[in-house]
Amino acid sequence: MKIYIFFNGDFYPEKTPLLSILDRGLCFGDGLFELIRCIKGRFLLFSKHIKRMRDSATFLEIPFPYGENELLNAAKELTRRNKIKDGELYIEITRGEAPRYHQFPKKTEPNFFLVLNPLREMPEECWARGVKVITFPDIRWGYCHLKTINLLPNVLAKEMAKNSNAYEAFFTREDKKGTYLTEGSSSSIFAIKNGFLMTSELDNILPGTTRAAVIEIAMKRKISVKETRLYLKEFIESDEAFLTSTVSEVMPVIKINDRLIASGMIGDLTLKLQSEYKKFIKEHLEW
């Protein structure tokens, strides 16, 4: 079957050569991306993802060429053309093509594309039994709140996780009190201790859409939420732990490096949030 992509306003078969080698995304990583779940042909938290991307583009002075409705229509058209109902929609914007100088010209036409693929396959038992994670030093820069396409540290961290038979790598930074966890290479981090739900504060990390949803769900259920500096030592001693992302949803974490968390058992609150998030998904599909 032919897979189509959307590029700068038109639809093309996916392997059509479209980008110039002078594209600043390619040369400098000068661009942004989003990944959105497509469920039963509809899109989860579409407007939140587009807002995050638009705000970051404004910050980087990349003109954002489309309105939300235009993008939703393009995404819908991809579900039709590609015959995909459950998938992942990848969106990328780059500053566009320009002679290769670091400083950017005031005016470039951004390149903008959407790719809709079937949802990647993940074993159900990850959600049922929990996963192992490893730690990896947070060697990234100071603007991690922007979802830029500069992902080499994340790529190296995930590769290390794969080579350690782990599901994810959690980035670590150091302060006077010790080692703390910031976020996963493509996920946000949560721990539960004495009934408190804790997650890394928004201090140079990506404000995850799933993270925000889980916080909202917890607050509605009167669970106390603390956005805080999450120290590795506390994480290991927590009663329950999980990670969140668009693809992983609420994924229990039972081991970090070689330390079991709560004897490797998935906690009740994690299970509750897992099922509440499933309900939340159904209520937040857009089109």
- List residues binding ligand PMP (CB under 6 A): 35, 183, 186-188, 206, 208-211, 244-246
Report the distance separating Cα 217 and Cα 271, nearest Å. 13
Find out whether 270 and 240 touch, Cβ atoms under 8 Å: yes
Going edge to edge, which strands form the sheet with 10-13?
Answer: 10-13, 4-7, 111-118, 87-94, 31-39, 42-44, 285-286
Question: Cβ of residue 205: shortest distance to ligand PMP, in angstroms?
Answer: 6
Report the distance separating Cα 91 and Cα 68, nearest Å. 12
Sign of CA dihedral 223, 225, 230, 231: negative
Report the distance separating Cα 206 and Cα 244, nearest Å. 12
Q: If DSSP codes are grouped into helix, strand and coil, which group holds residue 33?
A: strand
Q: Is 147 a catalytic residue?
A: yes
Catalytic residue among 147, 158, 162, 176: 147
Report the distance separating Cα 216 and Cα 193, nearest Å. 18
Say which DSSP state 119 is in. P
Find out whether 84 and 38 touch, Cβ atoms under 8 Å: yes
Question: Cβ of residue 222: shortest distance to ligand PMP, in angstroms?
Answer: 23
User: How many residues in the chain?
Assistant: 287
**Distances from the Cα of 58 to the Cα of 65, 102, 116, 207, angstroms:** 11, 19, 25, 16
Q: Which residues are catalytic?
A: 147
